[in-house]
Amino acid sequence: MNRTAAVVERIEALRNEINYHSRQYYVFDEPVIPDTEYDRLFRELQNLEAEFPQFIIADSPTQRVGDTPLAGFNEVTHSLPMLSLDNAFEEDEMGEFERRIRDRLKLDGGEKISYLAEPKLDGLAVSLRYEQGRLVLGATRGDGSRGEDVTSNVRTINAVPLKLQGNDWPPVLEVRGEVFMPREGFEALNKHARELGEKSFVNPRNAAAGSLRQLDPRLTAKRPLSFYTYGFGEVAPAPIASTQSESIYRLRHWGLPISPLQEVVTGIQECINYYLQIVQQRDTLPYDIDGVVFKVDDLNRQQQLGFISRAPRWAIAYKFPAQEEMTQVESIEFQVGRTGAITPVARLNPVFVGGVTVSNATLHNMDEVMRKDVRPGETGGGCGSYPVN
């Protein structure tokens, strides 16, 4: 074999190996090599591609980050609308949800309904379109019909595959899911911003949204974003399975990450039990969630049930109680960090919110204090353990 053929073979092997390890990490949560070994493989590929640029392809793992900032985001029309979810806040409303479904499907008393249950991530909904297994479009939800083309930014998210695994995917596969920032990454990002005297983010959701709307993908690439898939847009040919759970499970085999907490539950009591179990786990999860989503598992039933305005009748978000309380600002103090960065902190009249007593709230920086016009003696609202602490 001549040198060029050997290089082509090595490049191909490295890409496959790197993609395999990415899937093990992001999709299966089972990394098999240490980060240092992964970095070594990545660097070897970068070096070979630098020496032989004629063999660079758009979906090489080295090509996630483009180097041209955009002038603005183009508007895109979703091939199928991006739906929203109806909400339930009480157990009774979950009972009503099931009763409406039973009535429409004309089910007799004995027949139970199965649902796919999963946590509702507090992030930003996006649509990813794969054609012939390759990522061709990433778009924000926008108004549900039209969103913004953020392809160059979603490409920088390591959990988003640039190319699907295997070859049994439908030629057009559009998936919907949530881009989010894990808490640890959010804390590190804010700490860094504070050390540099820059503006910090109020919560991981805002940080994820701000990161995805950067015009320079090199900045998005530095943000610790992740992604889970939960649904579908256009799929052709469709369907890919007869239930929501099987369809979503197939995505996993194609390299798309899905929540490891997904479960099929049957009947409304199991829905409630699942909700209570997730409430218990909520604070230990590495990312913020604001409820639990239930979807009728049988796709024929989903079709029979259809939609009402922009929300499907076959799905519901059972939301956690709002983690927001009113209290009084007693004083504003200034904390000096190890690096000399000064952070204003509000001392609060202690208030119980989100399962904890809150008596301090970081105000991040003076811009935030001015923007929110926070003053001692005044009363205002704030959200749970984040960022109030």
| Active site amino acids | 120
- For 136, other C-beta atoms within 10 Å of its C-beta total 13
* Cα–Cα distance measured from residue 194 to residue 55, given in angstroms and rounded to the nearest whole number: 42
Name the minimum Å distance from CB 291 to ligand 5U1: 9
Q: Are 125 and 143 in contact (CB under 8 A)?
A: no
| Nearer CB in complex with ligand 5U1: 201/228 | 228
Give the residue with the Cβ less far from ligand 5U1, 49 or 118. Answer: 118
Opening angle at CA 261, ends 231 and 152, nearest 5: 45
Q: With contact defined as beta carbons under 8 Å apart, do 137 and 128 qualify?
A: yes
Min separation Cβ 52 and ligand 5U1, Å: 43
In whole angstroms, how close is the CB of 38 to ligand 5U1 at the nearest point? 29
- CA 89, CA 98: separation in Å to the nearest integer? 14
- Residue closer to ligand 5U1 (CB basis): 315 or 361: 315
Q: Are 369 and 332 in contact (CB under 8 A)?
A: yes
Q: How far is the CB of 299 from ligand 5U1 (least distance, A)?
A: 12
* Minimum distance, C-beta of residue 81 to ligand 5U1, in the bound complex (Å): 10
147 versus 231: smaller Cβ distance to ligand 5U1 = 231
In the complex, the smallest distance separating the C-beta of residue 309 from ligand 5U1, rounded to whole angstroms, is 12
**Which residues lie near ligand 5U1 (CB under 6 A)?**
83-85, 118, 120, 125, 176, 230-231, 293, 312, 315
**Encoded tokens for 297:** 């598992």
DSSP state, 355? Answer: T
Q: Could you tell me which of 323, 298, 311 has the C-alpha nearest to residue 246?
A: 298
Q: Given the complex with ligand 5U1, which of 38 and 287 has the nearer CB atom?
A: 287
Of 226, 142, 134, 225, which Cα lies nearest the Cα of 174? 134
Any residues with CB less than 8 A from the CB of 23 and at least 6 apart, and which?
161, 165, 255
129 contacts 305 by C-beta, under 8 angstroms: no
* Backbone phi, psi, residue 333, to 5°: -120, 165
Select 317 or 329, whichever has its Cβ closest to ligand 5U1.
Answer: 317
